[in-house]
Amino acid sequence: MLNWKKQVRQLKKQTYVIYLACKDSRVPWYARALAALIVAYALSPIDLIPDVIPVIGYLDDLILVPLGIILVMRMIPPEVLGECREKAEATMSQTLPKSRSAAVVVIVIWLLLGILAVVWIGRIL
């Protein structure tokens, strides 16, 4: 289990590295465009294959995102990649405070939005 957590942490870090590289003007436009697509896909709740489908639903996350990251990292100049890795390491090493009350507020907002959506759909039908 510890190995999985380490892999997930590494994937998050690499995603952040290419996000930082995407904003650097020394990176070619096509690499920035692909990096933006991969970061957006990695962070997006919408997948090519829905996660509710057992096993197959996670394949796109486990295969497409890492392959995309590898491809983009080959397109980024090595000096830019090194700088972005240092920035990502520095940023991710800082521990952010966790707020349970903020989490409760976000959950309540989502629940209320869900209830409003159900009521709205009920009125339409």
Task: Write out pLDDT tens, residues 9-46.
Answer: 888 888 888 888 888 899 999 998 998 888 788 777 77
Instruction: Specify the pLDDT at position 85.
Output: 92
Question: Strand, coil or helix: what is 108?
Answer: helix
CB 73 within 8 A of CB 14: yes
Q: How far is CA 37 from CA 18, 20, 53, 106, 113, in A?
A: 10, 13, 23, 27, 28
Tokens of 11: 């994937």
CB burial string 37-54: b at 16+ within 10 A, e below = ebbebbeeeebeeeeeee
pTM: 0.60
Quick one: pLDDT band at residue 97, thresholds 50, 70, 90? low
**Token match 């009521």: residue?**
119
Tokens of 34: 């692909």
Instruction: Specify the pLDDT at position 62.
Output: 78
pLDDT in tens, 50-83: 767 777 777 777 788 888 889 999 999 999 999 9
